[in-house]
Amino acid sequence: MTHPWSIAAVTLAYGLMLVGSVSAGGGGSPAALQSFPLYNAGERVDGLPLAAVLRREDTAHFVSFVYGDCVAGDDAGCAPPAEIQIWPSCRRNLGLYDRVQSVGAPAERISVRGVPALLFDDGTRLELETGQSTAVVFAGTRARVLRIAGALRTIDGTVLSLRPLPQPTRGQEGGPSNC
Amino acid sequence: MLRFALVVALASAVALGGTPALAHFDAADRYTHKACPASAANRIDPVNVVFMTWGTWGRAESQIESHAGWTASSGSAQAFTDHGSCASMHTQRASGHGSRFHIRLRGQHADATLGWTALAAAHHEDLVLLPLACGHAVDANGPAGSGFDQGRDELLRRFTDAGHSSSRVWWGNTQSFKQCDGDYAGSDGWTVFIQLHQASHP
């Protein structure tokens, strides 16, 4: 379930962040308890403050960090300036786009901080795999997306901004082959 | 059903390969926009339904009314893009005027494999009156998914019950959108392709 959290709740979320990982999936099986490292860009990135932390464990599974604000109206939501979604790589990974059914515009394959990544939607969406996590970055421009990708860091401090990211472990021994 | 899924898969592969001479369906932009020109900053809703085969917007409108019973036409306009061109939607339908299911549609290029196609953005939205009246807001994410997922799934269920073939395709358009009540909602990233028949309903 996803909740938009107020500042107080964001503080609580940071408490969660200190743990360094979250449970992925609401099922009771051991696979459902697979944890995945959380990344964000700190309390501010590219001039945008952290505005909300969201979590989904329903038809989608991720923790989201929303940066900046926007003004929604009647019958018309709005797109926040930037968002980082962290999925367990067993749920979302670059391999989804290798399958024929995974349609969309052609993606641009790049490397970000030493790990494979794909750019979609004219560079306004980046997906990269690192360790057992997949980071999905949304922003208004390619340049901002890449700056945010450069700022990604684990919330437990084991991976710092601008440093090389851990290689993907999906499909490897110890990796999250299923959820 | 398998044959239908294969058609969608093949068309998707062609779309990925960027061979417009064979396929004109354009999935490059998977969001609606508040106005033209389209940009990432004025995205409003994720596209989560594609009508195909006889998927003209008029047939889609007619069959939504017949199979889902969504006959209300109130709501604000949004824009879609197709091959880089931005244009206003063709139509919209809703299940009522208060809290309701709601879908906006725009017909797209015909496709060599998919046939006539129309993009659509479906959702369930609440009419928010308290604590501050702000109007319609898409349901926040919940156990049944977001309002976007609920709208798509309800429409799919109605069409499936009426015998229409369908297929789910991963689009990854999961960006979160802030609503007027302060909640956030986003698609789970799956889009459904629904096959329409030629005959419109009375």
The strand pairing partners of A131, in sequence order, are A168
Tell me: pLDDT of B122 over 90: yes
pLDDT one-digit tens code per residue, A39-60: 999 999 999 999 999 999 999 9
The answer to whether the CB of B63 falls within 8 A of the CB of B200 is yes
Residues of B in contact with A58 (CB under 8 A): 141-145, 149, 188
Cβ neighbours, 10 Å, residue A159: 18
Average pLDDT for chain B: 89
Q: What whole-number distance in Å separates Cα of residue B202 and Cα of residue B59? A: 11
Tell which of B176, B191, B192, B193 to mutate to test the A interface (max A CBs under 10 Å). B176
Backbone dihedral region for residue A25 (phi beyond 0: left; psi -120 to 50: alpha; all else: beta): left
Who has greater pLDDT, A179 or B27? B27
Orientation angle between helical segments B147-161 and B57-68, nearest 10 degrees: 80
**What's the gap in Å between the CA of B84 and the closest CA on chain A?**
11
pLDDT mean over B81-89: 94
Tell me: pLDDT of B23 over 90: no
- Tokens coding A159: 């991976």
**What's the gap in Å between the CA of A102 and the closest CA on chain B?**
5
Length of chain B: 202
For every residue of B88-100, DSSP letters joined together read E-SEEEES-SSSE
Position A121 scores a pLDDT of: 92
Q: What whole-number distance in Å separates Cα of residue A136 and Cα of residue A138? A: 7
For every residue of B33-76, DSSP letters joined together read ESSSSP-GGGEEEE--EEEEEE--HHHHHHHHHHHH---B--S-
The answer to whether the CB of B155 falls within 8 A of the CB of A69 is no
Residue of B nearest to A57 (CA): B143
Tell which of B184, B188, B190, B193 to mutate to test the A interface (max A CBs under 10 Å). B184
ipTM score: 0.89
What is the reported pTM?
Answer: 0.86
Q: Which of B14-23, B52-61, B73-82, B192-201 has the lowest mean pLDDT?
A: B14-23
A18 pLDDT band, cuts 50/70/90, is very low
Tell which of A10, A55, A67, A103 to mutate to test the B interface (max B CBs under 10 Å). A103
Percent of chain B's residues with pLDDT above 90: 78
Tell me: pLDDT of A33 over 70: no
For every residue of B152-169, DSSP letters joined together read HHHHHHHHHHTT--EEEE
A96 pLDDT band, cuts 50/70/90, is confident
Q: Which of A124-138, B51-65, B131-145 has the lowest mean pLDDT?
A: B131-145
The answer to whether the CB of A118 falls within 8 A of the CB of A126 is yes
Residues of B in contact with A65 (CB under 8 A): none
Partner residue opposite A77 with nearest CB, options B143, B149, B179? B179
pLDDT one-digit tens code per residue, A105-142: 678 999 999 999 999 999 999 999 999 999 999 999 99
Q: What whole-number distance in Å separates Cα of residue A68 and Cα of residue A147? A: 15
Percent of chain A's residues with pLDDT above 90: 65
A176 pLDDT band, cuts 50/70/90, is low
From the list B118, B167, B169, B6, the residue with the least C-alpha distance to A104 is: B169
Backbone dihedral region for residue B63 (phi beyond 0: left; psi -120 to 50: alpha; all else: beta): alpha
Tell me: pLDDT of B144 over 80: yes
Partner residue opposite A72 with nearest CB, options B27, B39, B178? B178
The answer to whether the CB of B46 falls within 8 A of the CB of B186 is yes
Distances (CA, A) of A117 to A178, B5, B149: 21, 28, 27
> Is the CB of A102 less than 8 angstroms away from the CB of B170?
yes
What are the b/e assignments for B14-46, b being 16+ CB within 10 Å? bbbeeeeeebbbbbbbbbbbbeeebbbbbbbbb
| The amino acid at A2 | T
> Is the CB of B75 less than 8 angstroms away from the CB of A75?
yes
Q: How many CA atoms lie within 13 A of B190 on its CB side?
A: 19
